[in-house]
Amino acid sequence: MNEYLVYITVALVAITGSLGAITPDCKNYKQSGHDSFACVCTEGQPCDKIEGPIKTAAGVVTNWESSRDGARLRKQALHFGQQVGSEAAAAQLSIKVDRDVKHQEIFGFGGAFTDSTGININKMGDKLGAQILNDYFSKDGIEYNVGRIPIGGSDFSPRAYSLDDQTEDRQLQKWNLTNEDLDYKIPTILKAKALATHEIRLFGSPWSAPKWMKTNNELIHGGSLKGAVGSEYWQIWANYFVHYLNSYKAHNITHWGITIQNEPRANQPFNSMLYTPEQMRDFLAKTLGPVLESSGWGPDKLKVMVLDHNLDLVEEWVRVIFADKTAAKYAAGTAIHWYSNSPHTNLDGPHNSHPDKFILATEACMGPKVRLGLWQLAERYAYDILGVIGWTDWNMVLDTQGGPTWVGNWVDAPVIVNPEAHEYYRQPSFYAMAHFSKFLPPGSVRVDSPVVTQHNTKATVGAFRTPHDSTVVIVVNNDETDIDFTVEDMFVMNKCLVYITVAFLAITGSLGAITPDCKNYKQSGYDSFVCVCTEGQPCDKIEGPVKTAAGVVTKWESSRDGARLRKQALHFGQQLNSEAAAAQLHIKVDRDVKYQEIFGFGGAFTDSTGININKMGDKLGAQILDDYFSKDGIEYNVGRIPIGGCDFSTRAYSLDDQTEDRQLQKWNLTNEDLDYKIPTILKAKALATHEIRLFGSPWSAPKWMKTNNDLAHGGSIKGPVGSEYWQIWANYFIHYLNAYKAHNITHWGITIQNEPRANQPFNSMLYTPEQMRDFLANTLGPVLESNGWGTDRLKVMVWDHNLDEVQEWVRVIFADKTAAKYAAGTAIHWYTHSPHTNLDEPHKLHPDKFILSTEACMGPGVRLGAWELAQAYGYDILGTLNHHTVGWTDWNMVLDTSGGPSWIPGNRFDSPIIANLDAHEYYRQPSFYAMAHFAKFLRPGAVRVDSPIVIRNNTEATVGAFRTPQNSTVVIVVNNDETDIDFTVEDRLATGADYEVIDAIIGHPFQTTQELMQFRALYPEYSKVYVTHYTGAVKRLNQALKQKAGAVCLVVSMGGKRHSVDAVDVHSRVFVIEGEARHRNCFYLDPTAEVRDPNPLLMKIKSKVAKNTTLLCGNAYLRAGRQSIRWCLDFISYVLSDKDWHNLYDWRPLRAKN
């Protein structure tokens, strides 16, 4: 079989190379293309011991620093002066410690004893396995004292399992610890306990009950316990906890605590189970709490934690559960995860309402995959850790792939093992953990540390008093440069001693061998750069797809080391077998297997976007919009509009902030609409090369419509669904749609509610799936329809939140026929680590409902030139497209250098374009070019086609293939590896993307249907060939010739029979078909006739082939045989190649054979 290639967009290729001026503290280290390094630990050369706090002479302070440029707990003695006034005034950061103002006591820090952690430690052998545990728990390590234990299996197990996988074992007689407990978890925990300098606070968390207890009869995909709370299965499940606690106690492992359920709102393709806050409340109060207490595990023995999920849920769950006095009696605290971009201020309300209940961070990790030496691992950990009583990492030890995991859910960890090399690596995140776990022993207390002065820095500060009466100040510097700071402690006075832990000082400097494509660029201490755009020196225009000569493919590449849509022409060979076998990645494109149509790509017209564009002035503001929407830009065609205010506004507002305005008489567009959103949208529309699909999303109803009388902090619409306020809320949508239409902005769609499960300190409002279903079916849908916004005019999307709950919401809402009638699709956000496969079931159940990605961003803060911005965007866009989404919408299109404006303190994020208002310039981030690889090359109407990976060797690249409305094929490869990869692409129907090939008019070479079936079995690559009688073929050739000016055609016949072809003259290349006029671009070929070598004829044909030429091939003889079809297809391929016919096909043996 001949294999051909088509036009490729290659996105986001990572490289290895020097990282610039780094001076590693490690004796042995490894650089892997990221902006820092990992320390390498072996048997022969163990990593350094971790030195802890030391007592110093009076007036001397010890500074412990870790930084991107090489420091790993680097120690330095500093001397205190008496007066800090002048120094503080000059410093960028001045901190005043008041140890008398005390806050929460610190429990400690640690990680999870997952199956994967135990497996990896075992694989390293006795000596290195002991070294790893020593690094984590001993006096020479970072002294962990918190450990989480999955109860049964999790995604980081080698299989899916529970501790009672028997059917209907209601007495739990077959309940048992598994090999994973006995071989991995328990031995690892016992070794850690023997090493630990403090008692380890161990807590268990279940991922799922046994499938026979659950409504979906599966360990995976969510599901709940059968029956009402308090009924039989809930009682059995409570007893299951007691069996677990007692069994571990029998192995000398006593639990300090449990969480009731890991991520109770996450419907995952691995072990998972769902609760509502009301179910968890009632289960704890009526069943689990009493069962634990009666079994010797009461509140005095065991700390029960509620929630165990993300910050966006914490306020609602705490309010619901702790309002019940019995549930509150049994609950000691709240467990939180970090997998949302919700601000830490979400914890203030729960703490203030229930100061007797602790808050413990119980899971965090970064992914997808392992990135050795990435400094952001340290920055993200440290930023998140400050502000809670303790912090628990996820896997302590993973392999170089980020596993093992039975679901392919690869992530990173502070220690990465390489069993083949018999070494392991301490990641930057390991040292981030050390700055806390080593210096804040259990019993430390957070004390007041107000920032008195803060100039040009985003540093985060915390101060603590240890049980040894020492003060620890931790500074997490997320800036791109070093900062100067002073610390004042009114009690020091040359007599008391203070330790200072200064963490994570970023530096600027050379990033190594990069060759930027930008004329003007900026490096800011991250591993890549931004392109700088000014009035005098605008950034380059973005060139789009180009037509090429036959056999030529255009590659467009963006990479960490400098490429920004760098264009290169590639030439295709005919045979790929040897190349494909040698490549790391071999992709086979089948454009006949089609999936979803692509709607497009874009971003949000937030207030902040409009404000920043306005502040840049007319010329630069126009340049920014040109970059996004015009032919010279990346051609966005999707836009999201917040309905009213959001977190990226300068204030909290709705479109009717009057009290009880039930007739909406005071409803109005605001200054934000009239000054920022509407003008920006109209300018974008004027520039856009495609119609922009605009959709609105509300963050909150006016506070007078809500149960909490607040725009922020969640709350719901008053009354049952369908009652007065819900009707008013539906009318509010109509006012909005009509008001924008009056400004010449017609909406393509709406989402019913932004993030309906997120209780936020900014505009937010809560729904259950049942409420959204009933609101759409009974109120919103009919109101829209009766006001001229029916389903033929407006696309209504449900959900508009994260992947972890999408399956449940789709199931509940679309099961209602009326709701399904009004809903066009589902909107999703990316703010969880849930796999893209979560989208497969909703698509399978409802293929008529599209799925659109409607929000994504990265943070906290702006990181100019961080290549991860491009990698994360590329990975998610392509990953979701490969799982049925029709497009992808970014969050803010333009933010300032602080990541704002935003009226919420600390709520700062990144965006593809960053405006520097003071310097009067803006920056194209790596994420801008990631978006370009999709928005510029996948026009609306493109279709995803099949692109199975036939060969994959040592690469984690993600691949997608698409067919555009212009009949071109686009292949996008997102390479998240740390090195370049070689890959090949095969397309059996390749045309160079320059020609229209009509191969559906080949005549009938078969005598029977059975022969046709045999042919298709022998040659599956030609199974799509249209078969007709030879006269039909000739007639269709005729029709095509009339319709296609300048067409070139070939008629193949055999044995000298020319049944329907007259006046054939091979030498003059002119003939008449069915009596029609002569056509000088048609050629007749008889491969069995005694004529001269056909190569000159074919070369002549080829000379007539130019861009946009239609190629036709027909068989003019009934008994031509199977071979003539192959000749037709080979002819088409031949004229598009740079090969001699003999190199494509050995002509003479064929002629002799026939």
CA angle centred on 119, ends 117 and 122, rounded to 5°: 105
Asked if residue 1029 and residue 1108 are part of one domain, the reply reads yes
Q: In the prediction, which pLDDT does 569 show?
A: 81
Asked if residue 782 and residue 663 are part of one domain, the reply reads yes
Query: Other CB atoms closer than 10 Å to residue 731's CB: what's the count?
Result: 18
Decide if 814 is inside a domain.
yes
**What gap in Å lies between CA 856 and CA 854, rounded to an integer?**
7
**What gap in Å lies between CA 503 and CA 58, rounded to an integer?**
23
- What are the C-alpha distances in Å from 932 to residues 103, 560, 815, 939, 1112? 48, 15, 37, 11, 35
User: Looking at 122-200, which runs of residues are DSSP E strands?
Assistant: 146-151
- What are the C-alpha distances in Å from 810 to residues 379, 640, 673, 851, 854? 36, 21, 32, 11, 16
Asked if residue 410 and residue 490 are part of one domain, the reply reads no
* Closest CA relative to residue 949, chosen from 973, 932, 926: 973
Out of 391, 423, 442, pick the residue that ends a domain.
442
Structural domain including 370 reads: 108-442
- What are the C-alpha distances in Å from 138 to residues 21, 51, 200, 204, 621? 33, 11, 12, 22, 57
**What gap in Å lies between CA 562 and CA 554, rounded to an integer?**
18
**What gap in Å lies between CA 389 and CA 380, rounded to an integer?**
18
pTM, two decimals, is: 0.65
Asked if residue 1024 and residue 881 are part of one domain, the reply reads no
- Contact, 935 vs 925, CB < 8 A? no
Give the burial class of 45: count Cβ atoms within 10 A of its Cβ; 0-12 exposed, 13-18 middle, 19 or more buried. Answer: exposed
Q: At what angle do helices 115-123 and 125-137 cross, to 10 degrees?
A: 130
What CATH number is attached to the domain comprising 963? Answer: 2.60.40
pLDDT at residue 576 tops 50: no
Q: In the prediction, which pLDDT does 341 show?
A: 73
Query: Which is more confidently placed, 1073 or 903?
Result: 903
The two three-digit tokens of residue 623, written as one number: 């340049």
Residue 99 — pLDDT band, cuts 50, 70, 90?
confident
Residue 1007 — pLDDT band, cuts 50, 70, 90?
very low
Query: Which is more confidently placed, 387 or 167?
Result: 167
Q: What is the dihedral of CA 563, 567, 569, 572, to 10 degrees?
A: 70
- What are the C-alpha distances in Å from 286 to residues 58, 293, 323, 324, 335? 57, 12, 14, 11, 21
The two three-digit tokens of residue 897, written as one number: 């250098």
Strands 638-643 vs 894-896: parallel, antiparallel or unpaired:
unpaired
Q: In the prediction, which pLDDT does 718 show?
A: 96
Q: In the prediction, which pLDDT does 505 show?
A: 26
Cβ-based neighbours of 961, under 8 Å, separated by 6 or more: 587, 589, 591, 944, 945, 946, 947, 969, 970, 971, 972
**What gap in Å lies between CA 130 and CA 188, rounded to an integer?**
10
**What gap in Å lies between CA 852 and CA 887, rounded to an integer?**
5
Q: In the prediction, which pLDDT does 507 show?
A: 19
Q: Is the bond leading into 860 cis (omega within 30 degrees of zero)?
A: yes
Decide if 538 is inside a domain.
no
pLDDT at residue 678 tops 80: yes
The two three-digit tokens of residue 22, written as one number: 């780094």
pLDDT tens by residue, 707-761: 999 999 899 999 999 999 999 999 999 999 999 999 999 999 999 999 999 888 8
- What are the C-alpha distances in Å from 389 to residues 346, 386, 626? 15, 9, 48
**Exposure b/e, 884-898, CB count within 10 A at least 16 = b:** bbbbbbbbbbbbbbe
Q: What is the mean pLDDT of residues 385-412?
A: 90
pLDDT tens by residue, 923-981: 999 999 999 999 999 999 999 998 877 667 767 788 899 998 887 888 898 887 767 77
DSSP assignment of 801-829: EEGGGHHHHHHHHHTSHHHHHHEEEEEEE
Out of 993, 1008, 1033, pick the residue that ends a domain.
993
**What gap in Å lies between CA 166 and CA 346, rounded to an integer?**
42
Active-site annotation, residues: 755, 855
Decide if 416 is inside a domain.
yes
Asked if residue 497 and residue 374 are part of one domain, the reply reads no
pLDDT tens by residue, 1052-1071: 544 443 333 332 322 222 22
Cβ-based neighbours of 622, under 8 Å, separated by 6 or more: 683
Query: In the sheet where 530-533 sits, what is the strand order?
Result: 521-522, 530-533, 921-924, 913-916, 894-896
- What percent of the chain clears pLDDT 90, i.e. is strictly above it? 56
Asked if residue 1024 and residue 890 are part of one domain, the reply reads no
User: Looking at 727-777, which runs of residues are DSSP E strands?
Assistant: 749-751
**What gap in Å lies between CA 973 and CA 958, rounded to an integer?**
6
pLDDT at residue 1001 tops 70: no
**Exposure b/e, 81-101, CB count within 10 A at least 16 = b:** eeebeeebeebbbbbbbebee
Decide if 476 is inside a domain.
yes
Asked if residue 424 and residue 284 are part of one domain, the reply reads yes
Cβ-based neighbours of 825, under 8 Å, separated by 6 or more: 795, 797, 798, 849, 850, 851, 852, 886
Q: What is the mean pLDDT of residues 220-236?
A: 95
Decide if 1086 is inside a domain.
yes
Decide if 722 is inside a domain.
yes
pLDDT tens by residue, 595-614: 999 999 999 999 999 999 99
**What gap in Å lies between CA 435 and CA 472, rounded to an integer?**
10
DSSP assignment of 616-633: THHHHHHHHHHHHHSTTT
Q: In the prediction, which pLDDT does 952 show?
A: 74
Three-state DSSP state, 210: coil
pLDDT at residue 342 tops 60: yes
- What are the C-alpha distances in Å from 691 to residues 419, 933, 972, 1083? 54, 19, 24, 44
Alpha helix locations (H) across 962-1094? 1009-1018, 1030-1043
Q: What is the dihedral of CA 1141, 1145, 1147, 1151, to 10 degrees?
A: -140
The number of distinct structural domains making up the chain is: 5
**What gap in Å lies between CA 833 and CA 365, rounded to an integer?**
9
Q: For residue 289, what are the β-bridge partners?
A: none
Mean pLDDT of the chain: 81
Q: In the prediction, which pLDDT does 460 show?
A: 82
What CATH number is attached to the domain comprising 175? Answer: 3.20.20.80
User: What is residue 687's DSSP assignment?
Assistant: H
pLDDT tens by residue, 650-675: 999 999 998 899 999 999 999 999 99
pLDDT at residue 219 tops 60: yes
Asked if residue 1033 and residue 1019 are part of one domain, the reply reads yes
Residue 490 — pLDDT band, cuts 50, 70, 90?
low
Asked if residue 147 and residue 85 are part of one domain, the reply reads no
Asked if residue 259 and residue 249 are part of one domain, the reply reads yes
Q: What is the mean pLDDT of residues 374-397?
A: 88
- What are the C-alpha distances in Å from 13 to residues 553, 555, 1034, 1150? 18, 12, 49, 45
Taking CB atoms within 8 Å and a gap of at least 24, the contacts of 212-220 are: 212/166, 212/167, 212/168, 212/169, 213/237, 214/273, 219/153, 219/160, 219/161, 219/162, 219/271, 220/160, 220/268, 220/269, 220/270, 220/271, 220/272
Asked if residue 649 and residue 618 are part of one domain, the reply reads yes
The tally of CA atoms less than 13 A away on the side-chain side of residue 579 is: 15
The two three-digit tokens of residue 30, written as one number: 């490894």
Asked if residue 682 and residue 755 are part of one domain, the reply reads yes
Decide if 537 is inside a domain.
no
CA angle centred on 338, ends 337 and 340, rounded to 5°: 115
Decide if 94 is inside a domain.
yes
pLDDT tens by residue, 693-718: 999 999 999 999 999 999 998 999 99
* Closest CA relative to residue 757, chosen from 681, 662, 836, 828: 828
The two three-digit tokens of residue 482, written as one number: 């070093």
First to last CA, the chain: 20
The tally of CA atoms less than 13 A away on the side-chain side of residue 410 is: 13
